[in-house]
Structure 1
């Protein structure tokens, strides 16, 4: 980008820089300058005048004065009747453009005495023709409009009085008129060039300059219509309107290049500074054009549109130069932000400028094809950047797992920074895209959702490796809990930021998170399950009716382990308690279906039924107290107990149908194991009861499974 910035120093308009020195002379005495333009040397005007003066002096050293061209010539050779006297009366030459002009104009008729502007005004009132010296006095007083009218009259008189003049005389007289024109032109267009700084403080000076240009344009039109073969005016048409446009372009080019006076934040790149300066300059300058310059021009100049187009074209040309380079990520983003957001919204929609800029029909700073290419590149860059940051975040997290240090706690729950880092990275990408356009943000959102999905799969993989290899870690369970807690943030982000069009990717993400959670629950419950397994065996190793102490032991062991899960965030704590609740109910059912006990009498069956109901009540109260909301489990054991209690085959069938409706995953093997407990049930009745499952309606929606995890031998 450093090489590229050198291009900003070239002008697309190709005009030489002119001076604003004369501006400092037109301000009222005693008043400070209000122009913000820096002072420069009067190089252009002085150079032009020197060339003109050298041309005049090269014409034989004879009379260098121009006669009063409104009167007929009395000398055939155009020389002074007394050359020596004319030379003696010449004032000493003075340095600088003003001195050179005085040297030249002092040779004109009446040039020995400097006339005041009041005398000029009296001459105009008396319809007397003005001399060159008198016209110069108008220029010195910045009366450009009056000066140009008389200068035009002088020019016309020059070409109307050709009789008796040879080519040398005519050339000398033309040079003197053109020198005066050059002086007028430089003063006028120096004002035009400095209009932005000048107009707010001295609009009348700008009005005079504009009127002068209009007058010259009108004279060009007259010349075109009056031109005849014997009447050739070398310097017509002068095309001051074209010079005006070139001057405006050059002025804008100079202002858009000069970044020295634009303040910027620290660490702002050269490209960013360039864009900031051009945008700020265009906005502030166009406000001055609308408020102060527009009223100084006649409508046919379309001054607001002209200035707007010049600023726009310069801005656009610089951005196109930058776009043609191999841009870095930041420069691509910066370029798109200016083209798609800041320029159209902050500049073109400015309340003061919006009407004028809309009328100008400026269009975009870059063509649609270039913008599309930049957007495609930006999306690829942003996706790669986010992917890289996500990988680094995971790398930092895995490194933290290897440390023998307990995870931090936030509001009493084990906490990891991983989810925060990942989501902030994704939010940052989406925010940057939204600062360009909402449409681009939408496109990036789809891409970043896929990046998140891929990241979570990597996260799941490294977490599984940690579970396998680090079970002896001092804070193993704490680490697992912290990673389960991460899943909530990922879920919330996915639910809030995805749209219906992103459902496929959303399902993938939520599925991965569910797998992480479920496998982590299993790891956390391994110790509890291992501890409870021998305790549950006691339910069938002894008589069922003497196993109350066993149930108390089961609940105490479970309570001790559940206390370890309190560092899980609320939804996950509830989930693992409900998972524990389900395990207790299933394990109890497993013991019932072991076919270790077959009760022959209704009385024994009723006693077992009562015991099962009592145990079910204990389990339900315990799990509810711990936070379980799995009420769908509450009826499983009581319904099995009722089947064991009932003696009437028809009543048993009704209860079986109810059980199958509540738990559709119960099979004939499960039911047969329960019926085995009823030692007095004939085989034919047992088969008839089992057939109820064949006619039970199949569920049409998903349901919680209970019996499918219970294996029956």
Structure 2
């Protein structure tokens, strides 16, 4: 009779490991009873039956064991002890049991959780029954029985067992292969099924973990005994890692390209990989991680595989010569989206920190792409700005009235140009803060170059003055300058560049304002000459003509935005006062009677009031100009040297730039002053006085 040992399978309800241990302790000391002798007899009979061929062993009503079934492994030494001495059943069962722990799941000792009144024993499972367990996806149960079978037929029980072991080993290997194939199929679809079938995934993971634990146990046994363990290690963990690799590779494969999405091929590929990686890793962290032992480091494993897959795809794309859009897209994913939205995702950041993922591309390669990106984008900005200016100059030449927006002449030039600069800065911010800083500096330098070209084109236009709506066009461009300046003052970048930009815009504004004032001056100068061609009494209509002429130009200037409109009106105000004083000095009229002097004084006062009121009503804020003409009128009217000296002193305190030559021209009008009186009045200007107004030049700009 063959010395084959039988594995008895018991059905029991699920118990915790502590309960199993306590039951073993409580049952062990009990003395043998008649029922135990009957059980012992049954075991022997069963052992005799096991010597028969496998296909003749009756399974009767035992069927397939439940998931909590356990195996009993009796060694050859224990079989020899049975022959020598009959021992209590429980002691023999305990001596014959070997179980192995895996996490919280352990193969329970014989009798643990077993109802003592139930004396029935299950027979060992056949290969067909184990196949059924695998087909029913009860992987962990199948694994336990296979391990028991592997240990049974892997042990050396003498020469009479060797041939029998060889016959069964092939079948065991087939079963292990079938089990591994089924389990790895579940692992391959983990991400897809984990939420719908968590128990199935858990069972598959437990099976792999048990096989890994068995490899570890056998390695320790081999080290202790110095004898190699047959068919071990099976390296299921390596198979698991390879299966995860295959699963990730399949999931990261690019889906069919759909041109209707409005994305480039590169964008479509990056979007698919990035979204797949993020969503899948969230699934791993939330639903898969909990099924694995810590030593599997499942999150790090998945993350590293996804990272390598994404990185290799990017490196392949980087080998080609990329256009502007694809370069931007690649840098955006590498520098922004990947680290911020995937690596530092709130759900993933803790687990991915442990994975120690590096950048998707090497730093040197990233710098090369950044340099190419900056060059390409700055060149694109330069071309776009040049096109904007070319279109604007073309509109000037067409001679049409510029459109108005909210009552002001309007051009899209500054909007288009600012948008070009802003877009480049914003795009770079979408990659990294450091790149955005570099881009801001470069595009602002390009913007400064554009402003120089703009001023040159505007100077040519203002010099030719061929446009019917010349002033309106100049006003339009001054409004654009205000828009440029507002943006430049708020734009981040190097201070020295901003200062240059603001100065360049100020030069354009100053030139434009001077041109607008000059348009008014050119029409007013012939009118002012009439003051020297007529008698003072007949000059009333001249001031009306001056006001009408200025009013005509102001109708256009109202479409100019502040503060430039105010600046232009103040310059016109300045010219009116300046030119009136100049004509008053050049008239060379000597009035010898106080009455004539009084009449002229009143006329000058009247004209001064008209000019200042008109200018103030139209936006001038140059109140400092309002004292000049009335003060000169008082000097003309006053009689007595001392009173005239007082008024001259007050005039000098407000306008310290008045000269003796200019004051002499005014005093000449007072024909009743002697030389000595005139001399004493002029000496007042030699006295240092405290200025009562901000020092601004008025009389120094007038030729006496």
- Calculate the TM-score normalised by the size of structure 2: 0.76
Using the TM superposition, give the Cα deviation of residue 617 of structure 1 relative to its aligned residue in structure 2, in angstroms.
0.6
**Is 1:221 aligned to residue 216 of structure 2?**
yes
**Is 1:121 aligned to residue 65 of structure 2?**
yes
Q: Deviations over 1:81-108 (max 9, x none)?
A: xxxxxxxxxxxxxxxxxxxxxxxxxxx9
In structure 2, C-alpha distance between the alignment counterparts of 1:259 and 1:703, rounded to whole Å: 77
Using the TM superposition, give the Cα deviation of residue 245 of structure 1 relative to its aligned residue in structure 2, in angstroms.
1.9
Using the TM superposition, give the Cα deviation of residue 275 of structure 1 relative to its aligned residue in structure 2, in angstroms.
1.3
Using the TM superposition, give the Cα deviation of residue 390 of structure 1 relative to its aligned residue in structure 2, in angstroms.
0.8
Q: Deviations over 1:102-131 (max 9, x none)?
A: xxxxxx953589979952429967364433
Q: Deviations over 1:583-633 (max 9, x none)?
A: 111111211232623445555444433322221011112222333332222
Using the TM superposition, give the Cα deviation of residue 280 of structure 1 relative to its aligned residue in structure 2, in angstroms.
0.9
Residue 523 of structure 2 is matched in structure 1 by 531
Contact 1:223 1:236 (8 Å CA) reproduced: yes
Contact 2:474 2:512 (8 Å CA) reproduced: yes
> What is the aligned counterpart of 2:682 among 667, 685, 689?
689
In structure 2, C-alpha distance between the alignment counterparts of 1:330 and 1:171, rounded to whole Å: 66
Q: Report the RMSD for the aligned CA atoms in angstroms.
A: 3.6
Residue 97 of structure 1 is matched in structure 2 by none
Residue 24 of structure 1 is matched in structure 2 by none
Contact 2:130 2:142 (8 Å CA) reproduced: yes
Cα distance change on mapping 1:573 and 1:662 into 2, 3 Å: same
> What is the aligned counterpart of 1:611 among 598, 603, 607?
603
Matching of residues 225-374 of structure 1 within 5 Å: 225-227=220-222, 231-233=227-229, 235-260=231-256, 266-323=261-318, 325-362=320-357, 364-374=359-369
Residue 542 of structure 1 is matched in structure 2 by 534
Contact 1:117 1:137 (8 Å CA) reproduced: no
Q: Deviations over 1:331-390 (max 9, x none)?
A: 222123223332333334444334433454445444555444444443333322222211
In structure 2, C-alpha distance between the alignment counterparts of 1:400 and 1:159, rounded to whole Å: 95
In structure 2, C-alpha distance between the alignment counterparts of 1:648 and 1:118, rounded to whole Å: 143
In structure 2, C-alpha distance between the alignment counterparts of 1:367 and 1:648, rounded to whole Å: 94
Residue 55 of structure 1 is matched in structure 2 by none
Q: Deviations over 1:616-651 (max 9, x none)?
A: 011112222333332222112122333444456665
In structure 1, C-alpha distance between the alignment counterparts of 2:265 and 2:58, rounded to whole Å: 55
Contact 2:191 2:283 (8 Å CA) reproduced: yes
Q: Deviations over 1:112-155 (max 9, x none)?
A: 89979952429967364433333323222222212222222222
Using the TM superposition, give the Cα deviation of residue 70 of structure 1 relative to its aligned residue in structure 2, in angstroms.
4.8
**Is 1:149 aligned to residue 172 of structure 2?**
no
SS in 2 for 1:479: helix
SS in 1 for 2:65: helix
In structure 2, C-alpha distance between the alignment counterparts of 1:292 and 1:272, rounded to whole Å: 30
**Is 1:475 aligned to residue 469 of structure 2?**
yes
Residue 60 of structure 1 is matched in structure 2 by none
Cα distance change on mapping 1:561 and 1:222 into 2, 3 Å: closer
Residue 138 of structure 1 is matched in structure 2 by 133
> What is the aligned counterpart of 2:480 among 478, 486, 508?
486
Contact 1:139 1:184 (8 Å CA) reproduced: yes
In structure 2, C-alpha distance between the alignment counterparts of 1:235 and 1:693, rounded to whole Å: 120
In structure 1, C-alpha distance between the alignment counterparts of 2:135 and 2:250, rounded to whole Å: 27
Greater C-alpha Rg: 2
In structure 2, C-alpha distance between the alignment counterparts of 1:611 and 1:117, rounded to whole Å: 135
Using the TM superposition, give the Cα deviation of residue 438 of structure 1 relative to its aligned residue in structure 2, in angstroms.
4.5
In structure 2, C-alpha distance between the alignment counterparts of 1:160 and 1:399, rounded to whole Å: 98
Residue 208 of structure 1 is matched in structure 2 by 203
In structure 2, C-alpha distance between the alignment counterparts of 1:252 and 1:693, rounded to whole Å: 96
> What is the aligned counterpart of 1:456 among 451, 454, 461?
451
Contact 1:595 1:676 (8 Å CA) reproduced: no
Q: Deviations over 1:221-266 (max 9, x none)?
A: 1211222788434532122122222221221122112434x97862
Cα distance change on mapping 1:594 and 1:416 into 2, 3 Å: same
Which has the higher relative contact order, 1 or 2, with Cα contacts under 8 A spaced 6 or more apart? 1
**Is 1:110 aligned to residue 54 of structure 2?**
yes
Using the TM superposition, give the Cα deviation of residue 461 of structure 1 relative to its aligned residue in structure 2, in angstroms.
0.6
In structure 2, C-alpha distance between the alignment counterparts of 1:111 and 1:666, rounded to whole Å: 132
In structure 2, C-alpha distance between the alignment counterparts of 1:635 and 1:455, rounded to whole Å: 44
In structure 2, C-alpha distance between the alignment counterparts of 1:633 and 1:188, rounded to whole Å: 97
In structure 2, C-alpha distance between the alignment counterparts of 1:554 and 1:173, rounded to whole Å: 122
Contact 1:68 1:131 (8 Å CA) reproduced: no
Residue 8 of structure 1 is matched in structure 2 by none
Contact 2:645 2:684 (8 Å CA) reproduced: no
Cα distance change on mapping 1:370 and 1:653 into 2, 3 Å: farther
Which shows bigger deviation, 511-520 or 194-203? 511-520
Using the TM superposition, give the Cα deviation of residue 288 of structure 1 relative to its aligned residue in structure 2, in angstroms.
1.7
**Is 1:567 aligned to residue 562 of structure 2?**
no
SS in 2 for 1:142: coil
Contact 2:648 2:684 (8 Å CA) reproduced: no
Contact 2:660 2:682 (8 Å CA) reproduced: no
In structure 2, C-alpha distance between the alignment counterparts of 1:634 and 1:438, rounded to whole Å: 54
Contact 1:540 1:591 (8 Å CA) reproduced: yes
Unaligned runs of 5+ in 2: 8-51, 72-120
SS in 2 for 1:593: helix
In structure 1, C-alpha distance between the alignment counterparts of 2:479 and 2:680, rounded to whole Å: 49
Contact 1:599 1:605 (8 Å CA) reproduced: yes
In structure 2, C-alpha distance between the alignment counterparts of 1:201 and 1:524, rounded to whole Å: 78
Residue 631 of structure 2 is matched in structure 1 by 639
Using the TM superposition, give the Cα deviation of residue 417 of structure 1 relative to its aligned residue in structure 2, in angstroms.
1.8
